[in-house]
Chains A and B, each alone.
Chain A
Amino acid sequence: EVRLLESGGGLVQPGGSLRLSCAASGFAFSGYSMTWVRQAPGKGLEWVSGISGSGIDTYYAESVKGRFTISRDISKTTVYLQMNSLRADDTAVYYCAKGLFFGGYPTPFDYWGQGTLITVSS
């Protein structure tokens, strides 16, 4: 059974940093791309960042480019999202999701975590 468990959310001040983790299990982790998607309060889904199965290729939305860094640790089957210079408009529930196709990017997202809430406020 595929499982994705996000952690690391919480309250942070504007300008602060936070690192999200997504612990994955139940599939061949290194073969699939992983993605972070967020949903701000009252808003729709927004793609944030993606990483290839190998971790070599990374992708970012313009809104987070230069501030967020995605990475993965194959030995720990975990994906991370390092978030720096956080702003109020980064407040959202952050979901990690698994790519559907082995080795492919772009790819649909077939399994999602339950999400972790980030609140950026003073």
Chain B
Amino acid sequence: QSLLTQPPSVSGAPGQRVTISCTGSSSNIGAGYDVNWYQHLPGTAPKLLIYANSNRPSGVSDRFSGSKSGTSASLAITGLQAEDEADYYCQSYDSSLSGSVFGGGTKVTVL
């Protein structure tokens, strides 16, 4: 059971907007630690999509955006494309564990 809770799956039609939530607690997101988001296709290396809550690394499409409020964060994907089908993970730091934590992951399906 991860300390960061994500929905197991979300889906949307091409062109739609989907959001993925990441709910933490006062020892991680609520303590002010940044949230990062990764995209992972099976058999490949995970890719950093969003860092420090809302920042995109160079080369990441602006269709991906992140936000954080209180003990939660969210990732939004606009203009959904078939290539966006992947698993998405939030990640933060937890002070009670003195280590990083990942959410359980959310599978995005493009209908």
Contacts and interface: CB of A to CB of B under 8 A. Distances in A.
Interface of A: 35, 37, 44-47, 50, 59-62, 95, 97, 100, 106, 108-110, 112-115
Contact of B45 (A47, A61, A115): A115
Contact of B40 (A45, A50, A108): A45
Interface in B70-110: 87, 89, 91, 93, 97-105
Given A44-B104, A61-B99, 11 more contacts: A44-B102, A45-B46, A45-B89, A47-B101, A47-B102, A50-B100, A62-B97, A100-B48, A108-B48, A109-B48, A113-B45
A60 B99 contact: yes
Nearest to B92: A106
Contacts of A47: 91, 99-102
Interface residues of B, number: 27
Given A44-B102, A47-B100, A95 B33 contact: no
A46 to B, nearest CB: 6
Contacts of B34: 108
B111 to A, nearest CB: 23
Given A59-B99, A106-B33, A44 B87 contact: yes
A100 B44 CA distance: 19
A45 B33 contact: no
A108 B48 CA distance: 8
A52 B89 CA distance: 23
B65 interface: no
A96 to B, nearest CB: 10
B2 interface: yes
A49 B22 CA distance: 22
B21 interface: no
Nearest to A61: B99
Contact of B103 (A44, A108, A112): A44
29 contacts: A44-B2, A44-B102, A44-B103, A44-B105, A45-B38, A45-B46, A45-B89, A47-B102, A50-B99, A59-B99, A62-B97, A95-B46, A97-B46, A100-B51, A100-B57, A106-B93, A106-B100, A108-B36, A108-B48, A108-B51, A108-B52, A109-B36, A110-B51, A112-B45, A112-B46, A112-B47, A113-B45, A114-B44, A114-B45
